[in-house]
Structure 1
Amino acid sequence: MTSIQSSSKKRKNKGLGDNNKRKKKHQDLSDVRKLGEQLLSSRAHINNLPLLLNFLDLKSSYPREFLLESLLSLQSFFTPLLPQLPSSSAKPTEDPESIYQTWVRSKFDDFVQCLIQLALSPSLDEEALREVVMDTLMECVKVGNAGTFHSSIYHKFIHSLVYSTEEYDTLLNLLVTKYFKYIDVRYFTYISLEKITRTLDVKDCQANYSPDTDPESANTKLESPARASGQLLVCNIHHVISKIPPLEQLGENSEYEMWNGSGVFSKEGKTKSKKTKGTEEKQGEVKKSSNDVASSANISKKMKLKFSKAWMSFLRLPLPIDVYKEVLVALHQTVIPYLSNPILLCDFLTRSYDIGGVISVMALSSLFVLMTEHGLEYPNLYVKLYALLEPSIFIAKHRAKFFQLLDSCLKSPLLPAYLAASFAKKLSRLALTVPPSGGLVIIALIHNLLRRHPSINCLVHQEDDGETETVKSGIDHFNNEETDLLKTNAMRSSLWEIDTLRHHYCPPVSRFVLSLENDLTVRSKTTEVAIKDFSSGSYATIFKEEIRRRVKQVPLAFNKTTPTSLFSETDFAGWIFQSSDC
């Protein structure tokens, strides 16, 4: 009976304790609100400032309501004071006001540091609260430098973001959707990333493969935690820089939206407006509109410069394999069009193209853009391109783009006959071993080669030049292992491999090879084949195409009697089949 009474008494005490906690929580929240109200009302309560800062510590056991209430009070306190506060490096004088201002500035720096830690903290699982923290931080960036964009605070935030070892995709997505639309935010993001990459220790970031070998076959296991963190840092930099939208998406004549109206782009505009003030008054609205266009052009020029510096600094780092591939795949679309001088990528791309394998295939797109649009001369292009023609290329992930670029590179009618013949012969030799989808794209490529270069049409029907014994012996003068295009002897050979495709087991291949029987030298009666229609083919695409075809005649076999064996005796005349038991 006593134990029952004691347990009942404990439950009552526990209930009273919970009620007290709820009351205390309510009182504490009102106390936090009161601390903020006192701080905003008078300097006499300035000591409330460090008390409110303590509530921003996630390691404490305070409820989230305390953090939010303290955050709002501190933002309301600091925002009107920011233009008047001295810089963080300023030393106070003996004046009490100067000492006070310097002390408040130090507390503001603590506030900013708390905001950065809160924004990046994985413990802050409430996305709405994280957004409030991010908005507060960006407000400090907006007016923290005497009313102008505070690049120092923003650099601290980007530095902490890049060096973070936690997952930060949610925060980065918030930054992209809400703040990267402002041109000055993007501008200072490029500046911060370029500063970070310049100060990195290359040895800490270096991967365990030589740039002269194929990264696919290299050992990418890291040797030390320092190197692992360096590799993660490079990945984080790429993650951020690749998320920044390019300037041209807004349009050349658009009014660029600024996070801070009196930012870096307005200084030059103000200077110009002072010089041309009298002229503008005379010429009126027409002059004003032309001045707006000049301002847009100036913004575009500055953005391209910072964009180029950030990307070139990043590309000088030793990139991990996965980042290397992602960069090469998107470089010709997301980077080259927006660089101030795309030729700066020449060394990076030629070095990547010389590696070989899938890396060369990925680098080819950007290298081709530099050659065709920016005047880059690369004499070894066709030698390296010829070396990439291997059976593995027909099952590579990026084969579609490669075959289209290969066709474009061989399009010029000024190519020497020996070079076109070497490519045609190399492709025809590969047709013997590649899958049916590869055979289709090879026929399309050779079709275009024969049509563009009439001088190699002799390969279709090579005449006997008196070497009767050599021809009868079946010797092919083409050297498939030769890497020098001048010494392959392709012009002395023929496309006999293509002739074997007439009897290919795959009907689409045997049907398509008949297109080479036309006289391709008559350009007016023939057209080039679109390589993109065949470049991404596979067994699946061939099968889907075949089942969609309407077949008029189908070969059928009828048996008048039920067969008792797989083959009849007439199928193998003269052969005797006996079982092992006989």
Structure 2
Amino acid sequence: MEPAISGGNGKKREKKREKKHKLKDVKALGHQLLSSRAHINNLPLLLTFVAPSSPPSHVVESVLSLQSFFTPLVPELPSLASASSSLKWESEKDPELIYKTWLRSKFDEFVRSLVGIVVSPDASDTLKEIVLDTLMEFVKLGKCGSFQSTIYHRLIHSIVNSPVVIDPILEDLSLKYFKYIDVSYFTYISLEKIMRTIQPKEFHSKNVEGGDAGRARPSLKQTIHKIHRIILRIPPPGGRDDPSNIEMWSGSELDVNLSKDDGEQLKSDKGDKVLSAASVSKKIKLKFTKAWLSFLRLPLPLDVYKEVLVYLHKDVIPHLSNSSMLCDFLTRSYDIGGVVSVMALSSLYILMTQHGLEYPNFYDKLYALLQPSIFMAKHRAKFFELLDSCLRSPLLPAYLAAAFAKKLSRMSLSVPPSGSLVIIALIHNLLRRHPSINCLVHREDDGAATKGQAKMENDVIPGFDHFRDEEVNPIKTNASRSSLWEVDSLRYHYCPAVSRFVLSLESDLTVRAKTTEVNVKDMSSGSYGTIFGDEMRRRVKQVPLAFYRATPSSLFSESDFPGWSFQLEAGAEEDDDDDDNHGDCRTCANASTGQYAKRQRLESTS
């Protein structure tokens, strides 16, 4: 109960102080502090107003006064550690050092209060924006005009570990500050430091020992989500090779050294102070790579994992200093199977085709991904395009091309019409690129085989298919001994678009000069809606019609179902309305019969 009492007393004291000091009093305290050192005692009093619980007007007025006071003094203030060590020896001889050390402690207190307001759930977004601008000004002027990474790291660390929604803060950072290369550079450094300190096993074990294991996972998940949002907001370093695109927050020229906490400086490799565009781009690429590798080593939640795989190939891999560092992450993702493997295929394909990655079991895993469920996946369009690209190589073995063609053919029996259209396009391209598998299009039983050979090889048993659909190894599927009979059945498909498109396989695809490849991208994202829309837009010249001499009295005739009768039950009563309806039906039937007779007479006379 004691903390609650003390907290209540603190709130009471704050309310009394707010009543005691009005806004004009806060302004007067600020003017006095800026006018003379004699009013230096106003500094601690103004610091008490820099709190989320204070009125916003009091906070803004105090922040403006304290910012004006500390801005010319910050470059001259010693670090707190060095000042404390000097005080042990020269405290009695140098009162100025004591004064500056005290100012340094108050400045650190001021920075902590500003950071507390930025991540406070009680402060308004407008107040947070003002306080964030003040913090970034101190970051800009911290070390004699160079970047003050200590303050900035404290800000990023507090944002990551805060319990509030950080989207408004990130919006301000991305719009105003992430465009500067030094801010991006030190953001990567801060995120890497934070991620290095995250130890999921130790964190979980500590919570288990303390009996609070249920809070370990949500807290870690929330932290990873915030790191993910921050790292996504930073512009990639790819567009900063041109010196005209490079902007510094801590200085307008490129001859400014950017120091960081570890003593490393953002300068050229030759040791000079002038930063060329190439050296700046190289430096930030290294930090970009380290930050992303540290992030991918974390236990990513499934939603973050999938989102990362979606944009990894276009937003991350082109900007890494060494893209082969992602090999382990992508191969592990590809081995998971299911949707995750499909989403990892894009990045893995780029590493194989552009960066020389060797993955011996790539086609085996790709073959295992061919399941009917893939035709209902969210990212199926990109998967089919990559599948078509992976099967384009002329060096692909014949057994592998046959296995993919036969597997796709078998799936055409159990997928939606849009999936059948994609399958026909993929098989069309396979047959055109690999003439050695055209024997699958039309294969008949060998009648010259003896009965003994039939028992041993099953070559002449009618309806026997050598293909093993359950086999996951393409070389063991016996696809080369089978045929694409499933594609032939698509000629009688209930969807007109499928039955029309399958006719394209009847031409001789081995003559490459007379045929062209089908663009899988045009139909990879099809659905029932797109097929229906295409059918509605088609211009039909001839429409089949059915004529009846008399109006049908039932949906099915008795000849369609022998042994069944479609009659009213005995004893059924009919009222006068039914008689009227029957009369109307008879009238309609006679009218239709008369119209049919007139049409027949007109045709005979013509």
- TM-score range normalised by the length of the shorter chain: 0.7 to 0.9
* Closer/same/farther in 2, CA of residues 564 and 73 from structure 1, 3 Å limit: same
* Closer/same/farther in 2, CA of residues 475 and 122 from structure 1, 3 Å limit: same
Counterpart of 2:258?
Answer: 264
Tell me, yes or no, if structure 1 residue 439 matches structure 2 residue 420.
yes
How far apart are residue 560 of structure 1 and its match? 3.1
- Higher mean alpha-carbon deviation, 559-568 vs 155-164, is at 559-568
Counterpart of 1:50?
Answer: 44
* Closer/same/farther in 2, CA of residues 581 and 410 from structure 1, 3 Å limit: same
How far apart are residue 64 of structure 1 and its match? 1.7
Gaps of at least 5 residues in structure 2 are 1-14, 205-211, 260-264, 571-606
Tell me, yes or no, if structure 1 residue 406 matches structure 2 residue 387.
yes
Q: Which amino acid aligns with 1:85?
A: L
How far apart are residue 205 of structure 1 and its match? 7.5
Contact 1:36/1:74, CA 8 A, preserved across alignment: yes
How far apart are residue 268 of structure 1 and its match? 3.3
Counterpart of 1:390?
Answer: 371
Tell me, yes or no, if structure 1 residue 145 matches structure 2 residue 158.
no
Equivalent in 168, 178, 185 of residue 180 of structure 1: 178
Q: Which amino acid aligns with 1:225?
A: R
- Coordinate RMSD, CA, aligned: 2.3
Tell me, yes or no, if structure 1 residue 80 matches structure 2 residue 69.
no
Counterpart of 1:370?
Answer: 351
Contact 2:309/2:343, CA 8 A, preserved across alignment: yes
- RCO higher in 1 or 2 (8 Å CA, sep ≥ 6)? 1
* SS of equivalent to 2:267: helix
Counterpart of 1:495?
Answer: 484
Alpha-carbon distance in structure 2 between the residues aligned to 1:431 and 1:454:
22
* Closer/same/farther in 2, CA of residues 244 and 337 from structure 1, 3 Å limit: same
TM-score for both structures, normalised by structure 2: 0.83
* Closer/same/farther in 2, CA of residues 461 and 267 from structure 1, 3 Å limit: closer
Q: Which string of whole-angstrom CA distances, capped at 9 and with x for unpartnered residues, describes residues 135-158 of structure 1?
A: 100001111123210101100000
Q: Which string of whole-angstrom CA distances, capped at 9 and with x for unpartnered residues, describes residues 526-550 of structure 1?
A: 1111111111111111111111111
* SS of equivalent to 1:559: coil
Equivalent in 223, 237, 260 of residue 247 of structure 1: 237
Alpha-carbon distance in structure 2 between the residues aligned to 1:403 and 1:388:
11
Equivalent in 483, 497, 503 of residue 514 of structure 1: 503
How far apart are residue 483 of structure 1 and its match? 1.5
Alpha-carbon distance in structure 2 between the residues aligned to 1:182 and 1:225:
37
How far apart are residue 35 of structure 1 and its match? 0.8
Counterpart of 2:189?
Answer: 191
Equivalent in 544, 551, 562 of residue 562 of structure 1: 551
Tell me, yes or no, if structure 1 residue 341 matches structure 2 residue 322.
yes
Equivalent in 157, 160, 173 of residue 159 of structure 1: 157
Counterpart of 2:435?
Answer: 454
Contact 1:445/1:531, CA 8 A, preserved across alignment: yes
Alpha-carbon distance in structure 1 between the residues aligned to 2:227 and 2:327:
22
* Closer/same/farther in 2, CA of residues 122 and 267 from structure 1, 3 Å limit: closer
Q: Which amino acid aligns with 1:233?
A: T
Counterpart of 2:7?
Answer: none
How far apart are residue 31 of structure 1 and its match? 1.4
How far apart are residue 576 of structure 1 and its match? 4.9
How far apart are residue 42 of structure 1 and its match? 1.4
Contact 1:255/1:296, CA 8 A, preserved across alignment: no
Q: Which string of whole-angstrom CA distances, capped at 9 and with x for unpartnered residues, describes residues 182-226 of structure 1?
A: 0000000000000011111122678xxxxxxxxxxxxxxx96102
Q: Which amino acid aligns with 1:366?
A: S
Aligned length: 524
* SS of equivalent to 1:254: helix
Contact 1:204/1:230, CA 8 A, preserved across alignment: no
Contact 1:205/1:227, CA 8 A, preserved across alignment: no
Equivalent in 529, 533, 537 of residue 526 of structure 2: 537
Q: Which amino acid aligns with 1:510?
A: S
Alpha-carbon distance in structure 2 between the residues aligned to 1:87 and 1:483:
65
Contact 1:184/1:263, CA 8 A, preserved across alignment: no
Tell me, yes or no, if structure 1 residue 577 matches structure 2 residue 571.
no
Q: Which string of whole-angstrom CA distances, capped at 9 and with x for unpartnered residues, describes residues 159-193 of structure 1?
A: 00111111110110100000001000000000000
Contact 2:467/2:482, CA 8 A, preserved across alignment: yes
Contact 2:243/2:276, CA 8 A, preserved across alignment: no
Contact 2:331/2:348, CA 8 A, preserved across alignment: yes
Equivalent in 297, 301, 304 of residue 316 of structure 1: 297
Alpha-carbon distance in structure 1 between the residues aligned to 2:312 and 2:527:
27
Contact 2:437/2:480, CA 8 A, preserved across alignment: yes
* SS of equivalent to 2:247: coil
Q: Which string of whole-angstrom CA distances, capped at 9 and with x for unpartnered residues, describes residues 369-421 of structure 1?
A: 00000000001110000000001000000100000000000000000000000
Equivalent in 398, 406, 420 of residue 417 of structure 1: 398
How far apart are residue 471 of structure 1 and its match? 3.7
Contact 1:82/1:147, CA 8 A, preserved across alignment: no
Contact 2:225/2:304, CA 8 A, preserved across alignment: yes
Taking the TM superposition and a 5 Å limit, the aligned residue runs for 1:13-162 are 28-59=22-53, 62-90=54-82, 91=84, 92=87, 93-94=90-91, 95-125=94-124, 127-162=125-160
Alpha-carbon distance in structure 1 between the residues aligned to 2:57 and 2:192:
38
Tell me, yes or no, if structure 1 residue 379 matches structure 2 residue 366.
no
Contact 1:383/1:485, CA 8 A, preserved across alignment: yes
How far apart are residue 558 of structure 1 and its match? 2.2
* SS of equivalent to 1:543: helix
Q: Which amino acid aligns with 1:453?
A: H
Alpha-carbon distance in structure 2 between the residues aligned to 1:338 and 1:271:
24
* SS of equivalent to 1:257: coil
Counterpart of 2:574?
Answer: none
Q: Which string of whole-angstrom CA distances, capped at 9 and with x for unpartnered residues, describes residues 28-57 of structure 1?
A: 222111111111111111111010011111
Alpha-carbon distance in structure 2 between the residues aligned to 1:578 and 1:114:
86
Contact 2:52/2:122, CA 8 A, preserved across alignment: yes
Alpha-carbon distance in structure 1 between the residues aligned to 2:203 and 2:325:
22
Counterpart of 1:6?
Answer: none
Q: Which amino acid aligns with 2:135?
A: L
How far apart are residue 514 of structure 1 and its match? 0.2
Alpha-carbon distance in structure 2 between the residues aligned to 1:267 and 1:58:
36
How far apart are residue 267 of structure 1 and its match? 6.4
* SS of equivalent to 1:224: helix
Equivalent in 214, 223, 229 of residue 219 of structure 2: 229
Counterpart of 1:281?
Answer: none
* Closer/same/farther in 2, CA of residues 233 and 303 from structure 1, 3 Å limit: same
Tell me, yes or no, if structure 1 residue 551 matches structure 2 residue 540.
yes
Alpha-carbon distance in structure 2 between the residues aligned to 1:116 and 1:576:
84
* Closer/same/farther in 2, CA of residues 134 and 464 from structure 1, 3 Å limit: same
Counterpart of 2:12?
Answer: none
Q: Which amino acid aligns with 1:259?
A: W
Alpha-carbon distance in structure 1 between the residues aligned to 2:536 and 2:266:
67
Contact 2:257/2:267, CA 8 A, preserved across alignment: no
Contact 2:385/2:521, CA 8 A, preserved across alignment: yes
* Closer/same/farther in 2, CA of residues 87 and 451 from structure 1, 3 Å limit: same
Gaps of at least 5 residues in structure 1 are 1-20, 207-221, 275-290
Tell me, yes or no, if structure 1 residue 479 matches structure 2 residue 468.
yes
Q: Which string of whole-angstrom CA distances, capped at 9 and with x for unpartnered residues, describes residues 464-523 of structure 1?
A: 344586444211001111122111111100000000000000000000000000110000
